[in-house]
Structure 1
């Protein structure tokens, strides 16, 4: 029994030693830190003219705390819009424009636009990365008849070098993780 207790004590000591040796030194810098994204802005420019529209989601104090505020997306029927997305971190002063980082790291990011059935919105013409895989910083949205629905906008991050992003990847691909996800209410009227 004494030998077993000694073995258990030694194993616990060795495990503690290994776990301690794996801790990061406080002076080490981490690479590819996740960015805080508090705001998603979608800007709609009507093809053929008309007023530019901007709709946003904002969680000004970051995750937790106060509830986020978001606007419904209201679009005209039978209309096409060129859409761009902008991401911000407004907890920084001045606010950080995360969009520039996404632009620089296109091969490691992808927006998914998933309209609910019956929303009467289609999304196409997403911009691509250097490998021809969709990124979605810009896109084209087309409406048909009047409807109320929703659209899910998801930014996924593909880690690794190279990231291994492919056109056929589903929004929930295990190769990537969600940076931000917003479900906007949509109205075509």
Structure 2
């Protein structure tokens, strides 16, 4: 019975397109309260020429376990630059708690990586920085090329240590950090 339960949990974790975790208090004396992130909103506005704000979401309002997350595909026009903001919410609270401000405040301990797939024809640049001049990534620019499909992986990493040991050259999978959020949006440039 225990083996079947473990197998079901393993399958649920692998099947979900979203990994939502939280920062927690570390044994090294770091004081980082645990938060749940249930929703990732990518808010996109054309950078020039005007246009409406469009929000693309990956949403798991009941948190880890329970119902599977819902996801919207990111659909953008070709050869266009967009300004974006990333919003992180905890919908297990009522009203929903906005975690984005905490990530900004603790910028030296966080970094958001944007990993577009080959063929997506999406490039992410101009990320905002933390107080030490190292990319944070709660805002930036998305530039599209010719029509194409693919995906855009968004990974929020937490850097431990007191002070945090985040460096400008750290990669998204640095052993110095752990994932707080790891989601993948399907994308279409058309």
So what's the TM-score if we normalise by structure 1? 0.83
State how 1:83-122 maps to structure 2 within 5 Å.
Answer: 83-122=84-123
Deviation string for 1:123-161 (max 9, x for gaps)?
000000111110000010000101111010000011111
State how 1:10-89 maps to structure 2 within 5 Å.
Answer: 31-48=31-48, 49-89=50-90
Q: Distance in 1 between matches of 2:53 and 2:147?
A: 20
How far the C-alpha of 1:31 sits from its partner, in A, is 3.5
Q: 1:182 is paired with a residue of what secondary structure? A: strand
How far the C-alpha of 1:70 sits from its partner, in A, is 0.8
Q: Which is higher, the Rg of structure 1 or of structure 2? A: 1
State how 1:131-142 maps to structure 2 within 5 Å.
Answer: 131-142=132-143
Deviation string for 1:70-122 (max 9, x for gaps)?
10000000000000001000001111110110111010000000000010000
How far the C-alpha of 1:34 sits from its partner, in A, is 2.5
Runs of 4+ in 1 over 3 A off after TM superposition: none
Q: 2:174 is paired with a residue of what secondary structure? A: coil
Q: 1:126 is paired with a residue of what secondary structure? A: coil
Q: Distance in 2 between matches of 1:187 and 1:34?
A: 35
| Equivalenced residues, count | 160
How far the C-alpha of 1:167 sits from its partner, in A, is 1.1
Q: Distance in 1 between matches of 2:62 and 2:31?
A: 24
Q: Distance in 2 between matches of 1:102 and 1:33?
A: 12
Unmatched 5+ residue regions in structure 2?
A: 1-29
Higher RCO by CA contacts (8 Å cutoff, separation 6 or greater): 2
Aligned to 1:176: 177
So what's the TM-score if we normalise by structure 2? 0.82
